[in-house]
Structure 1
């Protein structure tokens, strides 16, 4: 029971908990910001906060929530930058909740406060660097540069625009022009301003197009990887306390059905077509040789709870067991031997437990033939046909 308690605690405070809590804070922050967008701040800190901050906090909650959604997606990819942004944003969401101080904001304060130590505790789980490609860097620079160009230029030419009096007005005009919304509340009053407006439109549309393409490309690649039965490196990096199923065969199918309801697991198989079919069924699959050291390292065998090896090829299974034992001497390995004479060989290869389905079936059949009334009940329970099975 103590061991089971440890497993539950790890799940509650692990990397997955950090992602779930961050996502929950993000959704709650957006909802709270929308609910309080027209209300007047009345929290305990309002009298100590400048009026400008009070006016701002009413509508920035939703914006912070969307930033938190980005951080949650980054945590899913194991990014250290996402962990840093989450640690920074959680106190911000808590402070916004205090200042908003409505019946909707107090859950946000509590959830943000609870989430922060969990995220801090899992700092070592998010180690991937934000490795931006040249195209991604160009997209970020062009997008930021386009906004700066439009805002600075519009403000510098504010005398030649109708209704531009501040930097906020200039930025507003840049956004509505670049997004092609064009509300018409701000318009150029001279030819020079009109030419500048055209340049702002072209630059911003191009910058948005580049940024959109860069954002969609990784999503398309991830979708293709899933269609081909492959997992991305970011998904593999988040594996923890999982069960590795090495290989796939007739003996593996009932194991997958049992594990699907009880634990997180990853299937490692060399057959790409089989991997694609398993992925279509919603299983996590890594295409590769189950006896290859590099493949098992990518499958995070060092953090696995257990290893299950059960195909119809005892020789390949023994090699997979040997490799798994070398990479993680402490992991529990359970195997199924198709042929009874290979049970001891698999144990010598490193398996902790080896089960021979043929031997078990033979014993049950003999017991039943000799009049045992328990053998059929045992067989039904093993097959999952016992209605009282727990």
Structure 2
């Protein structure tokens, strides 16, 4: 358990440090572009180099901020992006040669080293939908088509001389901005420009749909009391409560009182809505299904609790969780004493029978054993 808490603390520090570097890089770049306060290295660097570093530093900052939120979801791709971008932003801060850029260099080094030490925390694959892949390929293909074609026909365009000019023309045309500083000067160039315009508008529309679609889905999910996949992936070091029954409610109240993050997995939609309205994290799914544990972040969870009033369903959930993650700590509550060995064979580390424990304490108290009440009070106080 201590190892799990340590991994969680390290990942939170890496996220915070990386996010801070991204925001600092944006702020530093904007300040230095508007009127840099020269540091001791400014005299040794050309002004054009300093200005370019400031502009690109702001852009790098935006990329780092995006990557930081990918780190929060445990994405390996985000970790690779951060490991590449943090040295870049440190170099940009060094080249900007401003008194404001030195904290950026120091923060980048700290964030870079902390990310390296937390490498094992980021093991989730980046999952893009078919629509998102199609949007990325369509947009990239159109920009490549327009850039190469414009550069090949550069003699038939005004003010197009380099590949950067060609990319600039393609981007402003495909996005329908059209500044008018570069124009087709022949019929062939105009036909080509029309093709870039049509394909560009279509590809940008697909890309926007792929980006806005998940946001709309999130709003609907919130309205319906459901958690989105990104919200599920943000859970870390949490307890998965597999199923809901008569024995579950006190467990949920205790977890909330202790401030422990938890996720209830239940197949009952109406029950899920009720728990969501009470501010609880709920995943409407079968707790004995492998996909439910995968979506619920079993690989990041600290424990699994199976405590419904159906020992058979609990056994299936325990068996599934144990097969998916052999090292997870699993606690079960047996509604019947004879089922305790079965739940342990299914994979539970600890099996507690509340009815048996309560019955024994009641009998001991009825027979005049005053220690029974003391034991019960101690258990409640320790909790």
TM-score by length of 2: 0.75
Distance 2:149 2:293 in 1: 56
Q: Does 1:247 align with 2:247?
A: no
Paired position in structure 1 for 2:25:
29
Q: Does 1:268 align with 2:241?
A: no
Q: Secondary structure at the match of 2:33?
A: coil
Question: Shift of residue 239 of structure 1?
Answer: 6.0
Distance 1:334 1:216 in 2: 41
Task: String of CA shifts for 1:49-79, please: whole Å, max 9, x gaps.
Answer: 5654322112122211222233234445544
Between stretches 119-128 and 203-212, larger displacement belongs to 119-128
Between stretches 169-178 and 126-135, larger displacement belongs to 126-135
Residues 317-336 of structure 1 mapped to structure 2, 5 A cutoff: 317-321=314-318, 324=321, 330-336=327-333
Q: 1:144 aligns with which of 140, 143, 147?
A: 140
Distance 2:128 2:315 in 1: 41
Q: Does 1:117 align with 2:113?
A: yes
For the 8 Å contact 2:143–2:167, the answer to whether it is kept is: yes
Task: String of CA shifts for 1:12-38, please: whole Å, max 9, x gaps.
Answer: 223x54444433332332232223222
| Cα 1:202/1:280, change in 2 over 3 Å | farther
Q: 1:70 aligns with which of 41, 66, 70?
A: 66
Q: Does 1:178 align with 2:174?
A: yes
Task: String of CA shifts for 1:167-211, please: whole Å, max 9, x gaps.
Answer: 555444433333223344555566665555444332322221122
Question: Shift of residue 283 of structure 1?
Answer: 3.8
Q: 1:11 aligns with which of 8, 11, 32?
A: 8
Distance 1:139 1:293 in 2: 30
| Cα 1:266/1:160, change in 2 over 3 Å | same
Q: Does 1:290 align with 2:292?
A: no
Q: Secondary structure at the match of 1:312?
A: coil
Residues 222-233 of structure 1 mapped to structure 2, 5 A cutoff: 227=224, 229=226, 232=229
Q: Does 1:91 align with 2:102?
A: no
Paired position in structure 2 for 1:53:
49
Distance 2:299 2:163 in 1: 54
Q: Secondary structure at the match of 2:265?
A: strand
Q: Does 1:354 align with 2:359?
A: no
TM-score by length of 1: 0.74
Aligned residues: 380
| Cα 1:323/1:178, change in 2 over 3 Å | closer
For the 8 Å contact 1:41–1:99, the answer to whether it is kept is: no
Question: Shift of residue 94 of structure 1?
Answer: 1.5
Question: Shift of residue 271 of structure 1?
Answer: 2.2
Distance 2:137 2:324 in 1: 43
For the 8 Å contact 2:147–2:163, the answer to whether it is kept is: yes
For the 8 Å contact 2:334–2:351, the answer to whether it is kept is: no
Between stretches 297-306 and 177-186, larger displacement belongs to 297-306
Distance 1:182 1:285 in 2: 48
Between stretches 23-32 and 48-57, larger displacement belongs to 48-57
| Cα 1:273/1:171, change in 2 over 3 Å | same
Q: Secondary structure at the match of 1:307?
A: strand
For the 8 Å contact 1:162–1:188, the answer to whether it is kept is: yes
